[in-house]
Amino acid sequence: GAVVSQHPSRVICKSGTSVKIECRSLDFQATTMFWYRQFPKQSLMLMATSNEGSKATYEQGVEKDKFLINHASLTLSTLTVTSAHPEDSSFYICSASKWSGTEAFFGQGTRLTVV
Amino acid sequence: DAKTTQPNSMESNEEEPVHLPCNHSTISGTDYIHWYRQLPSQGPEYVIHGLTSNVNNRMASLAIAEDRKSSTLILHRATLRDAAVYYCILRIFGNQGGKLIFGQGTELSVKP
């Protein structure tokens, strides 16, 4: 099946700094990618829809100035957590689908720890 | 977005079949029924999807009720590696499918 890759898989940062997470579709082009956040023992929560060449669409309650999304090419979307705080520590996951397909492919996730 | 309802948890014995139910009474005609599973500390993995007819693939089978208001994911012979959280999700077809909204899923444990 198609492959979606995230980088890094784990990151530890100091409170107040920014962290960038990359999501790449390795063998297909994706005009739309999705970013999720997952806290321990909870389900995935959709944060935003990343659209190539245009602004991301954020879900209600997600701060767009804190979680910056850039989708500059058909194979890469980035999520930047700005001024990170310990409460931003979470598992961040991206997904993408082929244009003509219906199943979603997920990255392996990024474990962010803010200390 | 149409919602799905699943039991919080289920148990199975190794090498026995497992039937994971899902209710989706508000499903619309354009919704496909998707199943994904998530192992600990990993991103979700696609399992199977269908529209109206039952579906089989190498991982599982999907049985869809005639009125499409419920479905069942069938693992024919559970293994320890099948222990995961299974999510039943409705998704429209094409145009990269639209967003996936995850419910709480069913945590499947498999006993040796």
Chain A residues in contact with B100 by the CB 8 A cut-off are 34, 46, 95, 104
pLDDT for A101 equals 58
Contact between chains at A32 and B105 (C-beta distance less than 8 A): no
For residue B91, what is the nearest residue in chain A, using CA coordinates? A102
Mean of per-residue pLDDT scores for chain B: 92
Q: Are A33 and A94 in contact (CB under 8 A)?
A: yes
**DSSP per residue over B44-96, as a string?**
-EEEEEESSS-EE-SS-EEEE-TTSSEEEEEESS--GGG-EEEEEEEEE-SGG
Residues of B in contact with A49 (CB under 8 A): 99
In tens, the pLDDT along B18-67 reads 999 999 999 988 888 999 999 999 999 999 999 999 999 999 999 999 99
Cβ–Cβ of B32/A102 closer than 8 Å?
Answer: yes
Cβ pair A108:B49 closer than 8 A: no
Mean pLDDT of A94-101: 77
Determine the pLDDT at residue A2: 72
Vertex A97: Cα angle to A95 and A102 (nearest 5): 125
Alpha-carbon distance A22 to nearest alpha carbon in chain B (angstroms): 14
- pLDDT higher than threshold 80 for residue A99: no
How far apart are the two ends of chain A, measured CA to CA in Å?
37
Least Cα distance to A71 among A28, A113, A23, A104 occurs for A23
Q: Is the peptide bond before A8 cis (omega within 30 degrees of 0)?
A: yes
pLDDT band (50, 70, 90) for residue A97: confident
Chain B nearest-CA distance from A107, in A, is 6
Q: What pLDDT sits at residue B79?
A: 96
Are B102 and A99 in contact (CB < 8 Å)? no
Q: Is the pLDDT of residue A30 over 80?
A: yes
Please report the residues numbered 46 through 105 in chain B whose beta carbons come closer than 8 angstroms to any beta carbon of chain A.
Answer: 46, 49, 85, 87, 91, 93-97, 99-105
